[in-house]
Structure 1
Amino acid sequence: MLPLAVAVTGLFALSACQFAGHDDPADEAGRLNTMESFPLHAYLPDPSSDAGKAIGSAQWILAKKCMVRLGFAGFTMLNTKTVESTYPVRRGTLALSSTTGDDRPYGVDDPDEAIEHGYHNRKQTESSQPQEWVADQYVALTGTFDSGDSRRAHGHPIPQGGCLGQAMQKIYGAPPKTTKVNGLKVTGYYSLGLELWYESHKEARKDPAWKKADRAWSACMKKKGFHYPDPDEVSVDTAWYRTEKPSSREKKTAAADARCKLDTGYIDTVHAVEARAQKTAVSKRKKDLDALRAANERAVENSRTIIEKES
């Protein structure tokens, strides 16, 4: 389970059994164990949505023109409709791609799925694979320099943030100030939402109800022969990262983890605490968050105009 994971998909509907008043704990846990179920999700745009895809397409259209201006003639042939939307990777750099980990906020929640996949639950799609670029192209695209890299391309100065960064500034305007999230500097147009998500999570974990839920889950796991203080600890056990496929021990541990979350009502409890913390954070910074959302809506409009002019 990775903190602040921002893997996000559509909305969820009530099931027939819920209308009948017989909620399935597993279904409810699965509904709550998503990024979409939190208040702050509304302020973190979905890259897989039509709006998110429009921004990505417009960014590459502008970046392509920038690269051509910098003297990369081959970019005139670049098909921006098929170029990878993930952030570029410098060729020769080790880019790890693994299914180890989980995209859900609270990790595994389905015992049947867990006994099959263990903690190897990270979704892998073709578009999630980073696209590699040779060094001079990578530098010009990203504005990220290694020792010895020139800050010019074919005699032209590389813009701050590279061609992709310059494109985003044209789409969004000037980026907000850099902030820190879990000790790491974060800059970008969604940094406030990420910062508040992290701070809310940290605050929620101090709540007595969360600590009680951790103890109940841990006691359940102990009865099954597994000794971990909380779900975060078991999900990041280094043993799971040593193999590409889950071991028998990993599968059994993950299945017990998911079962104990359901039997103790873990996800229901901690989600309520964290959602409450997020609501408080939103109310305190609503003006800033609304401005952020308005800026994103303008960026989508700008992007669609850019795409329309190009077609």
Structure 2
Amino acid sequence: MRKVLPLALTGLFALTACQAAGHDDPADQARDLNTMSAFPLHAYIPDPASDGGKAISRAQWILGKQCMVRLGFAGFAALDTKGLESTYPVRQGRLAHRSRVGDDTPYGVVDPDLAAEHGYHNQQPDTSAQPLEWAADQYTALTGTFESGDSHVTHGHRIPEGGCLGQATRKIYGAPPETTKVNGLKLSGYYSLALEFWYESQKEARKDPAWKKADRAWSACMKKKGFRYPDPDKASTDFDWYRNEKPSGKEKETAAADARCKLDTDYVPAVYSLEAREQKTLISKNKEKLNALRSADARAVRNARTIVKDAA
């Protein structure tokens, strides 16, 4: 289901920077503002596709390989890590089909023509990294993720917390921040602070009467077209859309009306201004913490590059 926080966890890093600048066309303005990169907090979340991001990924696999050899996986000594830097591990047999309902934008569909063609089935695969299957014993050792019956010991060695890749990440970044719980999700990553602020900023923005007014205007527009939803989130996450791999005729009609009503009521500019304002407020109040986040990432990139250089 499309919520801002999961979108931030699963799609935020792969989006291309796009600056919103005075467009007369409502469709152009909505499209430019309907990207994660248009928000102030985006500047505090690194891009894994950047040179620094790739260096960190490469270093993680280099250290992870060394750790796996120490744990007794002798075959890992010949592992070529160059082909792994853009992958993430998946337990063998667990590559499940992912529903394409939803998308990686903050406010959902804004193009009536595309919505009429695809409905709400706009979820695109994260191209910044691809899944790679590993045998169960290798997967648990790499990730420190266990299923019922899995041993925490392999070849007589205890698997480190977070597995070999988790251990590698700690060596690159240092001690991880304390785990925080946001919208029912536990965040323990090195960018959890920025993601927490992202969630909190929208939570506050939604309390503003102007946001509620925007929802009402959009809902009234939808009602005139024969669709009854109180806000865009309810329309895009209608359970009916999840029943099929491809969008139904009803879904396409609903999505097209949704996009048209967003344009006709200036929905995206209205809610974006509120959310961006809250983000700027949080950034101003937490500048020191966020700058420390940037500094930590810069150190991690330097550490990663040293690890890659030494391995070469």
**Shorter-chain-normalised TM-score: which range?**
over 0.9
Deviations 1:154-208 (CA, angstroms, capped at 9, x unpaired): 1112111110100000110000001111122210101111111111111110100
Name 1:192's counterpart in structure 2.
193
Amino acid at match of 1:243: N
Deviations 1:138-165 (CA, angstroms, capped at 9, x unpaired): 1101112222221111111211111010
Aligned 1:1-311 pairs, distance under 5 A: 1-4=2-5, 5-6=7-8, 7-8=12-13, 9-12=15-18, 23-83=24-84, 85-93=86-94, 95-124=96-125, 128-311=129-312
Deviations 1:84-112 (CA, angstroms, capped at 9, x unpaired): 63442222336332322110000111111
User: Helix, strand or coil for the counterpart of 1:88?
Assistant: strand
CA distance in 2: counterparts of 1:105 and 1:24, whole angstroms? 20
User: Helix, strand or coil for the counterpart of 2:181?
Assistant: strand
Deviations 1:271-293 (CA, angstroms, capped at 9, x unpaired): 00000111111112111111011
CA distance in 2: counterparts of 1:110 and 1:14, whole angstroms? 17
Judging changes above 3 Å, is the alpha-carbon distance between structure 1 residues 273 and 125 closer, same or farther for their aligned structure 2 residues?
closer
Judging changes above 3 Å, is the alpha-carbon distance between structure 1 residues 14 and 33 closer, same or farther for their aligned structure 2 residues?
closer
Instruction: Quote how far apart the aligned CAs of 1:52 are.
Output: 1.6
Native 8 Å contact 2:30 2:263 kept in 1? yes
Paired positions, count: 306
CA distance in 2: counterparts of 1:213 and 1:68, whole angstroms? 57
Judging changes above 3 Å, is the alpha-carbon distance between structure 1 residues 184 and 12 closer, same or farther for their aligned structure 2 residues?
closer
The ranges of structure 1 where at least 4 consecutive aligned residues each deviate by more than 6 angstroms after the TM superposition are: none
RMSD: 1.7
Deviations 1:217-275 (CA, angstroms, capped at 9, x unpaired): 00011111111000011111111111111111111111111111011000000000000
Instruction: Quote how far apart the aligned CAs of 1:128 are.
Output: 4.9
CA distance in 2: counterparts of 1:118 and 1:49, whole angstroms? 32
Instruction: Quote how far apart the aligned CAs of 1:132 are.
Output: 1.9
Native 8 Å contact 2:54 2:85 kept in 1? no
User: Helix, strand or coil for the counterpart of 1:101?
Assistant: coil
Native 8 Å contact 1:84 1:127 kept in 2? no
User: Helix, strand or coil for the counterpart of 1:89?
Assistant: strand
Identity %: 68
Native 8 Å contact 1:84 1:130 kept in 2? no
Native 8 Å contact 1:89 1:95 kept in 2? no
Judging changes above 3 Å, is the alpha-carbon distance between structure 1 residues 3 and 125 closer, same or farther for their aligned structure 2 residues?
closer
CA distance in 2: counterparts of 1:129 and 1:223, whole angstroms? 43
CA distance in 1: counterparts of 2:87 and 2:259, whole angstroms? 31
Judging changes above 3 Å, is the alpha-carbon distance between structure 1 residues 169 and 301 closer, same or farther for their aligned structure 2 residues?
same
TM-score by length of 2: 0.93
Native 8 Å contact 1:196 1:278 kept in 2? yes
Native 8 Å contact 1:114 1:254 kept in 2? yes
Judging changes above 3 Å, is the alpha-carbon distance between structure 1 residues 13 and 275 closer, same or farther for their aligned structure 2 residues?
closer
CA distance in 1: counterparts of 2:128 and 2:38, whole angstroms? 25
Structure 1 unpaired stretches of 5+:
none
Amino acid at match of 1:90: R
CA distance in 2: counterparts of 1:207 and 1:130, whole angstroms? 40
Instruction: Quote how far apart the aligned CAs of 1:57 are.
Output: 1.4
Instruction: Quote how far apart the aligned CAs of 1:126 are.
Output: 6.1
Structure 2 unpaired stretches of 5+:
none
Instruction: Quote how far apart the aligned CAs of 1:129 are.
Output: 4.4
CA distance in 2: counterparts of 1:50 and 1:127, whole angstroms? 12
Amino acid at match of 2:310: K
